[in-house]
Amino acid sequence: MKKIVIIGASHAGISCAEKLRRYGFDGRITLIDRIPGLPVQRPPLSKDFLKYKNVELHSFYLRQKEYYEREKIELVTGKDVVAINRESNSMIFEGDSEINYDVLILATGADAKIPDYVRKDISNIYVLRDNEDAVRLKEGALIANKAVIVGGGFIGLEVASSLRSIGLSVDLIEFAPRLLPRVSSQYISDYLQLVHQKEGVSIHLSQSIEEVIYSKFNKVEAVKLCSGKILRCDVLIYGIGVSPNIKLANDLGLSVADGVEVDSSYLAGKNIYAIGDVAYSSGEFNSRIESVFHAQFSATVAAASITNSPLPSQPVFWFWSDQYDLKLQIAGILPKPKKDEFLRGEVREGKKEGSFSVWNWYQNKLVCVEAVEDSQAYMVGKRLIEQNIPISPAIIKDRSVDLKEMLKNLL
């Protein structure tokens, strides 16, 4: 009987355990996570959990306690793995407990970045990656009036939205000349900038922090921008991306780049898999992909490979973000054009007032659809990309074309 150990009990780790059981694996499964308590969903931490005073973490459990008991999945939380012996297929975690494995799955995720210049003994500096971070931030925000957020990616924007909804004044700093510089089109960046400014967020683009100003009480009281401007704050939040948690992979001697290098089945070494945010694929996108959907997909592929089940086909990756009363849905990934290449985008108004979508082509191929309050455009675009169905910008631009009927005729 095989013994499988999964290190990391978030979306990827739990999805993998679930798929292993679904694919017929009846051996021992052990899930280990350093954070105490039942694992929670990550996306709501920057949204509903932060916005609503009376919402508790148990509202966002990924699975209830009974699930692990029913599926005979041993969940060990509040424990860090301190050593792994690859030769003996054994590991030791905190408390000197030892466990053996036949297959090891690294779902160790990624850690929020924080600059080296920031003092580590300051209580009102925050990141947001897991439920412990979220609880700290929520407690700090509830007694604060002013927030400075560093980073104009999804986390920064979602936190800005949540903090404005509970009455904090918010300054948001982004080093790049636009918001969401790595993941969205210029049109979406510009649109969200206007939305946040309308909601009262002060946005500082092409700026960085020159100095963090501390009070005599060992708290941040302000930051000084490279422009010389001083921004006062009660809480300072960094949302400047993540670094893959590769310590165990390094200890195991695995090949590591910006994450643990894996093949198409997410195999990283003999009987060792890496899934979720820590996995670096040298395939089509040649990168790590940070999303719940990729966590679940990589978990499914690894579980299928371990159980010799059919591997799922390559999907269209999707993402979403809730900010204020808006929902942004993205199907596909915007590539980074090479020199002398470019993306073409067409904006299409939706049926609902204020809704729209941005359709992006690269090398004459539809690669990404970004939809604001337009689920039909999102679903149709996702299907077209999934089926690799060619579609011209002129058709999308034509408002007389019904997207649903168009898709029906093309399939």
Q: H helices of 96-170, where? A: 131-141, 154-165
Question: Same domain, yes or no, for 125 and 233?
Answer: yes
For residue 312, the one-letter residue type is P
Question: Same domain, yes or no, for 14 and 105?
Answer: yes
Residue with tokens 């301190």: 82
* Spatial separation of the C-alpha atoms in residues 259 and 333, rounded to whole Å: 19
Neighbour-count burial of 191, counting CB atoms closer than 10 A to its CB (0-12 exposed, 13-18 middle, 19+ buried)? buried
CATH code of residue 394? 3.30.390.30
Cβ partners under 8 Å of residue 119, min gap 6: 125, 212, 214
Rounded to two decimals, the pTM is 0.94
CATH code of residue 253? 3.50.50.60
* Spatial separation of the C-alpha atoms in residues 382 and 367, rounded to whole Å: 9
Strands (E), 45-194: 73-77, 81-85, 90-93, 97-100, 103-106, 110-112, 125-126, 146-150, 169-174
Q: Which residues constitute the domain of residue 370?
A: 325-410
Provide the residue-wise pLDDT of the chain in tens; the chain has 411 residues.
Answer: 589 999 999 999 999 999 999 999 999 999 999 999 999 999 999 999 999 988 999 999 999 999 999 999 999 999 999 899 999 999 998 877 889 999 999 999 999 999 999 998 999 999 999 999 999 999 999 999 999 999 999 999 999 999 999 999 999 999 999 999 989 999 999 999 999 999 999 999 999 999 999 999 999 999 999 999 999 999 999 999 999 999 999 999 999 989 999 999 999 999 999 999 999 987 665 678 999 999 999 999 999 999 999 999 888 999 999 999 999 999 999 987 776 667 889 999 999 999 999 999 998 899 999 999 999 999 999 999 999 999 999 999 999 999 999 999 888
Helix, strand and coil percent figures for the chain, each rounded to 5:
30, 30, 40
Question: Same domain, yes or no, for 264 and 365?
Answer: no
Residue with tokens 């967020």: 201
* Spatial separation of the C-alpha atoms in residues 144 and 231, rounded to whole Å: 15
Question: Same domain, yes or no, for 212 and 268?
Answer: no
Cβ partners under 8 Å of residue 208, min gap 6: 173, 175, 225, 226
For residue 223, how many C-alpha atoms fall within 13 Å in the half-sphere facing its CB? 26
Question: Same domain, yes or no, for 185 and 219?
Answer: yes
Query: Domains in the chain: how many in total?
Result: 3
The answer to whether 145 and 170 are in contact (CB under 8 A) is no
